[in-house]
């Protein structure tokens, strides 16, 4: 991958995605489910670029969506309605209405109040809404607290007793069709046991429901498979699938898996140019043209990303903070990171930037978001233009008072 050529051609800051790597990750996970009824539904929030979503759709993937905007993206990218799931804690009435009208596979319901809204809106439309209920198994996923979702302290899902009560209500409703059960305990999971424990708890609930003649079709295991940012020991897809299957004895269910980070994170690179080096007392800084508005994870999570540089410098590395131009002390990519002395226009390459990078970006400080480029079969192509100042003010300018 010639980062220098890409930076010259498309300018910086720049996101670059290796589509061949994404395809290999998808194939590895799909192969792990071989011989078992399954659907892989790409978690659109990881990287929602239309070309990325279409890339997975072309391989047969569905889409796990957490807003009606993501549902619309999935349709635009060619994902069939019967492979689209709509999840998320806070769905508005308009979002629920559109999801029902679009006849997607099912709506993942996250509370008793939401179940009531779905039923009422389906009734108003004269339709039956397929639903799944997200169960919170109260299992510690051993991950960052901001991306933990399977504990009762988290806002996601419902406890087992509430879930059973909701299934009974849905099963007795003329406008609800309970077809699935869902759990997702967190993101960047690197330990198998919490996943297996959660699956066992949820599978036991399925058996309990069968005992009262509530027959489900889909066992939705969420996503969350971790990837290597640094030196993490990750879970092999085969071991992941076998752990799930081991809990489903005597259950004839289609497994639904919602990977995001696993498919895209290590396919992505964020390229930025060095503006200056500076020193405050003993502290050394490398200032680059990318910023926290482009890649938020280090500021938000104190997340680690491996960083490479393209430079002619032959000097020994020293500890530096890599920072951007945004007017915040939290605008950094790494602190005390070992880099050699760098010159103006040297390149800084932030690795593992294909998930939760561009999508979490903003226009803070009136900064246009980066361009995005795909690499596939040795060819590069633009998949999102760089935002201009005119793009940023387009929704405001007409309202300026004379």
- The DSSP bridge partners found for residue 277 are 286
Q: Is 60 marked as a binding-site residue?
A: no
State yes or no: 215 annotated in a binding site. Answer: no
> Residue 63, SS3?
strand
Based on the domain organization, do 110 and 7 belong to the same domain?
A: no
Are residue 90 and residue 178 in the same domain, yes or no? yes
Is there a single domain that holds both residue 138 and residue 227?
yes
Categorize the per-residue pLDDT at 1 as very low, low, confident or very high, splitting at 50, 70 and 90.
confident
Q: 117 with 241, same domain?
A: yes
Question: Could you read off the pLDDT of 351-373 as tens digits, one per residue?
Answer: 999 999 999 999 999 999 999 99
The confidence score (pLDDT) of residue 157 equals 82
Q: What would the pLDDT profile of 228-280 be if each residue is shown by its tens digit?
A: 999 888 999 999 999 999 999 989 999 999 999 999 999 999 999 999 999 99
* Structure confidence at residue 38 as a pLDDT band (50, 70, 90): very high
Write down which residue in 226, 259, 292 finishes a domain: 259
CATH number at residue 130: 3.20.20.10
Q: Which two tokens stand for residue 220?
A: 């939705």
207 has binding-site annotation: no
Do 211 and 325 share a domain, yes or no?
A: no
Q: Is 36 annotated as a binding residue?
A: no
Average pLDDT over residues 34-38: 93
Q: What is the mean pLDDT of the chain?
A: 94
* For range 368-397, the mean pLDDT: 97
For the beta carbon of residue 223, count every other beta carbon within 10 angstroms.
24
Confidence tier at 64 by pLDDT (50, 70, 90): very high
Residue where a domain stops, chosen among 225, 259, 293: 259
Q: Report the catalytic residues.
A: 327
Residue 399 counted as domain residue: no
Q: pLDDT tens across 197-213, in order?
A: 999 999 999 999 999 99
Do 72 and 97 have their domain in common?
A: yes
Whether residue 71 is contained in a domain is answered as: yes
225 closest CA partner among 203, 204, 240, 242: 240
Which two three-digit tokens encode residue 82?
């019967």
List all residues 6 or more positions away from 67 whose beta carbon is below 8 Å from its beta carbon.
88, 95
- Asked whether residue 94 is assigned to any structural domain, the reply reads yes
Do residues 135 and 199 both lie within one domain? yes
Q: In which band, very low, low, confident or very high, does the pLDDT at 140 lie, cut at 50, 70 and 90?
A: low
Structural domain count of the chain: 2
pLDDT of residue 319: 96
Q: What percent of the chain has pLDDT over 70?
A: 96
Domain that holds residue 284: 3-14+266-393
pTM of the model: 0.94
Find the mean pLDDT for residues 13-29. Answer: 98
202 and 277 share a domain? Answer: no
Q: How high is the pLDDT of residue 154? A: 57
Among candidate residues 236, 259, 282, the one where a domain is terminated: 259
Q: Are residues 76 and 93 in the same domain?
A: yes
Would 22 be classed as within a structural domain?
Answer: no
In this structure, what CATH number is given to the domain that contains residue 306? 2.40.37.10
């Amino acid at each position: 991958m010639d980062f220098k050529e890409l930076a010259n051609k498309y300018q910086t800051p720049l996101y670059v995605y290796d589509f061949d790597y994404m395809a290999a990750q998808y194939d590895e996970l799909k192969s792990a489910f071989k011989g078992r009824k399954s659907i892989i539904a790409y978690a659109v929030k990881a990287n929602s670029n239309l070309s990325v979503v279409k890339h997975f759709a072309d391989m047969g993937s569905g889409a796990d969506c957490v807003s009606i905007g993501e549902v619309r993206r999935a349709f635009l990218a060619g994902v069939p309605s019967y492979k689209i799931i709509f999840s998320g804690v806070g769905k508005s009435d308009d979002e629920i209405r559109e999801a029902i009208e679009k006849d997607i596979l099912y709506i993942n319901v996250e509370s008793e109040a939401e179940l009531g809204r779905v039923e009422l809106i389906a009734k108003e439309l004269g339709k039956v809404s397929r639903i799944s209920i997200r169960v919170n198994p109260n299992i510690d996923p051993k991950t960052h607290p901001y991306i933990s979702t399977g504990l009762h302290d988290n806002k996601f899902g419902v406890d087992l007793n509430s879930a059973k009560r909701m299934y009974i209500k849905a099963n007795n409703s003329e406008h609800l069709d309970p077809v699935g059960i869902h759990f997702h305990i967190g993101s960047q999971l690197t330990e198998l046991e919490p996943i297996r424990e959660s699956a066992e708890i949820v599978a036991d609930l399925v058996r309990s429901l069968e005992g009262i003649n509530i027959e489900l079709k889909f066992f939705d295991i969420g996503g969350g498979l971790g990837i290597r940012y640094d030196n993490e020991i990750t879970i092999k897809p085969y071991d992941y699938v076998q752990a799930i299957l081991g809990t489903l004895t005597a259950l004839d269910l289609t497994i639904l898996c919602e990977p995001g980070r696993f498919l895209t994170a290590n396919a992505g690179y964020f390229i930025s140019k060095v503006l200056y080096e500076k020193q405050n007392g003993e502290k050394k800084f490398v200032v680059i043209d990318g910023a926290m508005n482009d890649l938020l994870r280090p500021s938000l999570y104190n997340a680690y990303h491996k960083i490479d540089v393209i430079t002619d410098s032959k000097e020994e590395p020293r500890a530096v903070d890599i920072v951007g131009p945004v007017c915040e002390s939290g605008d950094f990519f790494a602190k005390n990171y070992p880099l050699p002395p760098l010159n103006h226009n040297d390149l800084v390459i932030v690795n593992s930037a294909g998930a939760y990078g561009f999508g979490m970006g903003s226009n803070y400080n009136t900064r246009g978001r980066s361009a995005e480029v795909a690499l596939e079969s040795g060819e590069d192509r633009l998949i999102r233009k760089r935002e201009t100042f005119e793009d940023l003010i387009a929704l405001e300018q007409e309202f300026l008072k004379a």
